[in-house]
Chain A
């Protein structure tokens, strides 16, 4: 057999410490069943602090808004609500998320309402004084109507812009930076209608700034969008409006795989497998979007760049240090000199290292004779843990049930991880996963770093399989304590009743 192709996860404290406490994790699954999601609320606060450090370095003010869509947990939200109100807020994309944020202790002025909004969402946002991130002039008119009809006070609004590649040619003729098309936001070119609507409705809405969210890993595109927004806000000032905040959305990324070499080796091997010069490393030769056309690889690999030299706060720092394409100053300097607050909406990156998903091994059998590969059947399905569905490839960590002395086959082994649904397609990975040894029934597999979009983005009850429960854990002295996610409050040690305060 070839050398095992690992994609071992990046694990940092305190998650790393939790993973070494096998007995605790096994006892959790014994009590609460498989699958099980485990969250570390303390880690989300640390991440927020890291983002704040980048702000401080660039002398910037403004808020870090957690993009709630990344995880529906109460513990994470409550922990963030306990942070400095001026520094941390929450970005909600539905009326349910808005209600949840309010219930977790966020006051309206710390909430940013984004995404498509129905009347109930707009009404509640206006009622509680949330900032509404407007998607279109139509939404502005509907919001205005509600404010008038119900006699609310002025609502703070940001305008979400898009279509920066078509923006007027100040950047000089000849270059067009294409962007991924987005369903959201108002094209900068069409912003004139938006501005006059803002002026017309000045008694109902208070225009506080511009926003964008670009679904791209490309720093240059984001720097360009940032600068276009600064220029746009200038035009607004020239018309007598006084915007002062720029919300640059999320998408700062997470590094899932620890070692660059493992990631490089695996992706090279995928290309070779698609070309047929090495055996497949995926279920039925799946190519993740790559295909072989007469010996040439075509298509684009639908893979999340799982190893990253910089992600999260580091990525923000890079973006803020990039020269703006037209004005030349660093983007941070641009914001600072124009006296703008910077808002960000990290989702995935704010919950980096904040959680893991546990699954019990039900059964292990050879995949087919002689291959040396196995099928490992888990008490979990692809809907419970959707890393792979988002193109994120990373190995689970094996947590044997027995003590370290238990007899286990000490050889690395290639396995396919299958789920608990009666569907041929219910694979947790379409990739051959290498584990340091063959698991046995009763062992646990821990999928690390699933708090961002993976652990509950697609959970469903289709086949009456148990839906994963979620617990919050905290280190206390020598041991870990836990409580159900819904019972977590940042004021009492985990696992104890809230005292009278």
Chain B
């Protein structure tokens, strides 16, 4: 397989059968169309290239900017394609809720504009809708923006009608599956594929999956939001169902852990929604001796959604404790075991002590730089926590005065250090705040 350009690697993705032992359907063969194996990582590689190609190939002078309302995969593909052609890319979105994707886009060189939240003091006569601004800016005469407009652009659908759909038919030996299941974001993949499959066999049933209304699954729309999508036509779907983020993650875990498919949440949602729906059909087929086929789309990969999973199901990323931790000292233990010292005594100690104590400020470097106790060293609490895991970080002959904003964290660390055998560590009572309130000097550098 030798290519002249990465764009030639877009499409021709595998269709992989899911082991019946996993999904439990007895009479239906379930296949996953692995769009996550496109070169930029998602099903959006196809429409992005199909929409942008005519403009990018014509763009000789590297002028202008491609813009899209996208929080994720379309932006990623467009940003890479624009970069290859020396053109800039800007993503405008209010849904940039997954930090890995945002950082990836920045790495690729995209510009991101995040739309503001809703107005709290609502004025219903206000027409200052940020999206309206966006569209006005695009239609400015002299604007050098190329808006790919994925929610309304028929080339989005076309990319799938020419690629994804025919590939499925080819891999099923010229037949359309009995069911086709897809999540609905721009409606491009579901609409394009459904069109082709129905041309082969009008009896194909199409299941569209959306997110539960109060829920958030990155990349797809809720049941209300789909109505704002220009490509969305309810007639495309025999059924529209909603899935929750919980179900999406369940499905994703099954695909990852049992099928070796490193799917993201929408792939999980499609799998879970498919099995939920097909179970009834499967029961009806029992004893008829008939077999049926279903295909769902795995849109993208898991890696970009780790923080999404961490937020919703932290136990899946099983964070187990790593050795001794000051956090393991309870508040009551800290109060019982740590020595504290008031501001006046601390001032005297740090000026006249023999030896003088090492003053450790546990706040962030930024706050430390702004104002701190003269002569103190700054070890931010997170780093300090790590240091303690390795052992006692100070000589037992050096007395230590620990300071944090209000004397709470320092109390725990003082207790932890005492437990580790340090003979003279004290926590500044009331912290830097008490120090300041007592009129004791703070310096900045």
Residues of chain A whose beta carbon lies under 8 Å from any beta carbon of chain B:
59, 61, 172-181, 215-221, 234, 237-238, 251, 253, 260, 264, 267-268, 271, 275, 288-289, 295-300, 302-305, 327, 329, 333-334, 336-339, 348, 389-392, 453
Contact = CB atoms under 8 A, between A and B. Distances in A.
Given A174-B106, A174-B111, A339-B433, A300 B129 contact: yes
Contact of B124 (A59, A174, A389): A389
A336 B106 contact: no
A275 B224 CA distance: 11
Interface in B350-401: 363-364, 366-367, 369-371
Given A215-B121, A390-B121, A238 B228 contact: no
Nearest to A298: B228
13 contacts: A174-B105, A174-B111, A175-B102, A176-B114, A177-B114, A178-B130, A238-B444, A271-B224, A295-B233, A296-B229, A333-B405, A338-B367, A339-B405
Contact of A337 (B122, B228, B367, B444): B367
B364 A329 contact: yes
Interface string B221-257: 0011001111011000000000000000000000000
Contacts of B233: 295
B224 A333 contact: no
B344 interface: no
B29 interface: no
B28 interface: no
A221 B117 contact: yes
Contacts of A181: 128
Contacts of A289: 124
B366 A327 contact: yes
A267 B224 contact: yes
Nearest to A390: B122
B131 interface: yes
Contacts of B162: none
B214 A260 contact: yes
B408 interface: yes
A259 B114 CA distance: 30
B213 interface: yes
B140 interface: no
B367 A176 contact: no
Interface residues of B, number: 49
Interface of B: 102, 105-106, 109-126, 128-131, 213-214, 223-224, 227-230, 232-233, 363-364, 366-367, 369-371, 405-406, 408, 432-433, 436, 444
B117 A339 contact: no
B131 A268 contact: no
A303 B122 contact: yes
Contact of B106 (A173, A219, A238): A173
Nearest to B97: A220
A391 B124 contact: yes
A11 to B, nearest CB: 22
| 8 residue pairs, one from A and one from B, having the closest CB atoms | A218-B117, A337-B367, A302-B124, A391-B122, A337-B363, A251-B120, A336-B405, A216-B117
B370 A218 contact: no
A53 B115 CA distance: 32
Contacts of A327: 364, 366
Contacts of B366: 234, 327, 337-338
B121 A237 contact: no
Nearest to B114: A177
Given A237-B370, A337-B364, A337-B367, A216 B116 contact: yes
Chain B contact residues: helix, strand, loop or mixed: loop
A295 B229 CA distance: 9
A297 B124 contact: no
A178 to B, nearest CB: 5
Contacts of B102: 175
B124 A288 contact: yes
A253 B123 CA distance: 15
A264 B370 contact: no
A427 B39 CA distance: 57
A180 B119 contact: yes
A215 B120 contact: yes
B106 A297 contact: no
Contacts of B406: 59, 336
B371 A237 contact: yes
A59 B213 contact: no
Contact of A339 (B213, B230, B432): B432
Given A333-B405, A334-B364, 16 more contacts: A175-B106, A177-B113, A215-B120, A216-B119, A216-B120, A264-B213, A264-B214, A268-B224, A271-B224, A275-B227, A302-B126, A327-B364, A337-B364, A338-B370, A339-B436, A390-B121
B118 A217 contact: yes
B188 to A, nearest CB: 14
Contacts of B433: 61, 336, 339
B432 A178 contact: no
Contacts of B227: 271, 275, 296-297
Contacts of B120: 215-217, 251, 253, 348
Contacts of A268: 213, 223-224
Contacts of A453: 121
Contacts of A264: 213-214
Nearest to B130: A178
A238 B444 CA distance: 8
B121 A297 contact: no
Nearest to A240: B444
Contacts of B125: 302
A216 B111 contact: no
A55 to B, nearest CB: 12
Contacts of A178: 113-116, 130
Nearest to B111: A174
